[in-house]
Structure 1
Amino acid sequence: MTMLSRVAERLYWMARYLERAENTARVTNAYTHLIMDLPRDTQVGWEILIQILDAEPVYTKQFRAFNEQNVLRFLIADQENYSSISRSVKAARENVRTTRDALPEETWEHVNELFIYTQETAEKSIGRRHRYEFLEQIISRCQMINGLLMTTLYREHSHRFIKLGHLLERADMSSRIIDVGAGANQAIDPLLWGSMLKSLSAMSAYRQKIGPLVGPNAVINFIFKESRLPRTVFFCLTGILEELQPLSNNSDAIQIVESARRKLTRFDAESMTLEQLHQFIDQLQISLNQLDDAINKAWFLPMQS
């Protein structure tokens, strides 16, 4: 390789944390709108957001109740939560700070501005008055930074490891959203699945490809298997495979990705029970974790003597 292992690792995690901040803002924004649209007697609570991020152990150490204020504080401003917007932006900034020479000059300026904005506004954006503006700003600023990287970054290892981080984090979030949505209240299916599609900016594409009716099986198949939408799991895995192929020492990572892609091509939500669906998603999550481990072992961790 032509770049230092520690630089590759920091670029990879910079991308993951930027994607995580954007994804958390997206799903929080979409679900907040959903809650406002539901009848008051609907049995859907704020704990769904914690479940999506698989953060219940961390959450319950600090909070007892899954109410709006606690959950939004945890997701927006909590420094102990590695999935919170504030913590993710801070981690992304630190990784950019230590790799500035490998990135376009403007990257540090924009990421630092995002960090300052988050530090100044996260705490007061927990309440509804400023929440929507804050979440939209996080989404748009992260997209701007990612757009800068994808349109100006020299196509070599820096670009490759940034893309690996973005795509792996995105596939992880998409699968988590489907997992939690599949176990929610069936009485609100159209609203819930519509909200999930909006959180992935996939509603327009879904209507073009599938149609106007939003049904759980159709949404699940679309988000898992569609090959032409950047936020579907299959698209992300295909992109990861493309970035892995030019690298040396890539056999373990490629084997994991190819296995996951084969399973997705055979996947059909309509033929599965709810239990089978959750088992499939659990296995997919395990594969994504194994892929992260393989990337770390192949290119980031020091060689053992």
Structure 2
Amino acid sequence: MTMLSRVAERLYWMARYLERAEDMARLTNAYTHMAMDIPKGAEPGWDVLVRIMDAEAAYTDHYRVYNEQNVLKFIIADEDNVGGIYNAIRAVRENVRTTRDVLPEEAWEYVNELYIYAQEHADKSIGRRNRYKFLETVITSCQMISGMLSSTLSRDHAYRFIKLGRLLERADMTTRIIDVGAAALLGEDRHHTTVDPLIWASLLKSLSAMGAYRRMIGPQVEANDVVDFVLRNETLPRSVKFCLNGMREELIPLTNHKPVVKLLDRARRKQSGFDPYNSTREQLHTFVDEFQASLFNINRTIDSTWFQQDQT
């Protein structure tokens, strides 16, 4: 290794939290628009957003009811929600602050501006009046920071750990969204199946994949086509396959990469072998659960391989 393991760890988590903030903002924005478009009584509940985060226990510690106001406060502004937007931005700032010597000078400036903006506006953006502007600002700022890092960093170990963190977080979020979409939103006991295409379209929009889907698949939004597209498409930047392939590319130049690559290749085989066209929603749910466990093991092995070396 040519860099301290604690620096590599902070860069990795900086990228994860930056991706988390952007993804949660995208998801919240798309879900809000869907809730306004679907006829009253046919829309899924706001608890879906909490379930995607796998944060039911943390939510019920502070809130009793799953309504729009409570859920959006939990996601946007709650300082105790480790998966929320404000907390993710705060974590990005702290990790950048402690790694400024290996990042472009602009990184701290842009991240600090985003943090100050979130600090001032998160609480005011829970209601619908200010929510769209806040979420769009977060998305745009995260994209700007990610783009700046991608276009200015040398392709060294710092860049590799940033990209690993970003792609692992992105794969995790994509599978969470698909799992809830298939196993919860579109259960067989639902009575308003005519709105299902709107729900799947919303999930595609939360991944910024609607345009690509229409160009490559067609205008008709079908559940199995959507699942196959975001799991197995090789060219979509937010597909699971794209993320796993990109992670492998960055792992190979690193010393002691074999244990992580072995787990990653196992996850790639699992992802490639899953056929959404011949699977039930229960089988999809089981696949996602197992895949999430694979991502957890990959993250744990990355930690033990590279981030614990110089810790006493």
User: Residue 13 of structure 1 aligns to which amino acid in structure 2?
Assistant: W
C-alpha separation in 1, matches of 2:291 and 2:41: 34
CA distance in 2, matches of 1:149, 1:81: 27
Counterpart of 1:38 in structure 2 is 38
Contact kept, 8 Å, 2:35 with 2:43, in 1: the verdict is no
Instruction: Check if 1:232 corresponds to 2:239.
Output: yes
C-alpha RMSD of matched pairs (Å)? 1.1
How far off its partner does 1:205 sit?
0.6
Aligned-pair distance for 1:302? 3.4
Q: Does 1:119 align with 2:119?
A: yes
TM-superposition CA deviations, 1:86-140 (whole Å, max 9, x none) = 0000000000000000000100000000000000000000001100000000000
Q: CA deviation at 1:73?
A: 0.2
Equivalent position amino acid for 1:71 in 2: V
Q: Deviations over 1:131-183 (max 9, x none)?
A: 00000000000000000000001110110000000000000000000000002
Aligned to 1:141: 141
Mark the runs of 5 or more structure 1 residues left unpaired by the alignment. Answer: none
Q: Which residue of 1 aligns with 2:283?
A: 276
Is 1:213 matched up with 2:223? no
Q: How does 1:240-251 map to 2 (within 5 A)?
A: 240-251=247-258
The C-alpha deviation readout for 1:33-82, integer Å capped at 9, x for no partner, is 00001111215110000011111010010001000000000000001111
Say whether residues 1:178 and 2:178 are aligned partners. yes
Matched, 1:252 2:238: no
Residue 63 of structure 1: aligned partner: 63
The aligned counterpart of 2:301 is 294
SS at match of 2:61: helix
Deviation at 1:303, TM superposition (A): 6.4
Q: Which residue in 1 is equivalent to 2:93? A: 93
3-state secondary structure, aligned to 1:62: coil
Quote the residue 1:153 is aligned against.
153
Are 1:84 and 2:87 an aligned pair?
A: no
- Point out 4+ residue stretches in structure 1 off by more than 4 angstroms: none
Q: Distance in 2 between matches of 1:189 and 1:263?
A: 27
Within a 5 Å distance, the mapping from 1:12-51 to structure 2 comes to 12-42=12-42, 44-51=44-51
Does the residue aligned with 2:309 lie in a helix, a strand or coil? Answer: coil
- What is the alpha-carbon distance in structure 1 between the residues aligned to residue 287 and residue 112 of structure 2? 39
SS of equivalent to 1:182: helix
Percent identity, aligned pairs only?
58
> Which residue in the other structure is 2:197 paired with?
190
In 2, Cα distance between the equivalents of 1:12 and 1:264? 24
What secondary structure does 1:29 align onto?
Answer: helix
Equivalent position of 1:10 in the other structure: 10
